[in-house]
Amino acid sequence: MELALIDFDNTVTTCDTYARFLRRVATPEQLAQAWWKVGPWLLAYRLKLISARRIRARVTWLVMRNRHADDIAAQAAGFSREVLPDVVRPKMLEQIRWHLQQKHTVVIVSGSLDLYLRTWCEALGLDLICNRLESRDSRLTGCYADGDCGPHKVDRIRARYDLSRYVRIHAYGDSSEDRPMLALAHERWYRGKPLK
């Protein structure tokens, strides 16, 4: 048995789909306020003063808080159908299909949202570890149901899979959040290049 652990944004895709999804579902009022509510945080992130985890939590809370869960789920289904096919890297899709043909267990491990990733993964027959949004009385709270998966990818992987059962583990990533996951693997690729 072999296991393939694959980050999604900027690894499988050519862009950050999480940011694109949040922009797509943001209300006109949220978009109008984005500059002063998100701008300073985004600048701090680009200057490496705050982590991806903090900016992700902040923007998710601002966009998703008190939104109707069914409405966001419907928009996510459309995003999965209409946007994801155009941003998936053909070479990575080919690599995923190769792993599946070899009967490997293939897992997308992402800090992005299950709302749009689940549909895409189910269509290909992939397992999924990612962020889920918390809801109460059909309204989203803007928080993650189980905390942010991004910095805890390895913990989530170990909780779901007995790694000792796999004779070979493959891992693909592109960011510092992926490095602990890459360290689990026998064969690892960082930004499309093999690591020794």
Does residue 78 register a pLDDT over 90?
yes
Q: Mean pLDDT across the stretch 24-47? A: 88
Does residue 40 register a pLDDT over 90?
no
pLDDT band at 34, cuts 50/70/90?
A: confident
Q: Any residues with CB less than 8 A from the CB of 48 and at least 6 apart, and which?
A: none
What is the tens place of the pLDDT at every residue in 88-135? 999 999 999 999 999 999 999 999 999 999 999 999 999 999 999 999
Burial annotation 27-36 (CB, 10 A radius, 16+ → b, else e):
eeebeeebee
Determine the pLDDT at residue 196: 78
Q: In terms of DSSP bridges, do strands 193-195 and 187-190 run parallel, antiparallel, or are they unpaired? A: antiparallel
Percentage of the residues of the chain whose pLDDT score is greater than 70: 100
CA distance 96 to 110: 15
Does residue 79 register a pLDDT over 90?
yes
36-42 long-range CB contacts below 8 Å, 24 or more apart? 37/62, 38/62
In this predicted model, which residue has the larger pLDDT, 160 or 35?
A: 160
Please provide residue 66's backbone torsions phi and psi, each rounded to the nearest 5 degrees: 70, 15
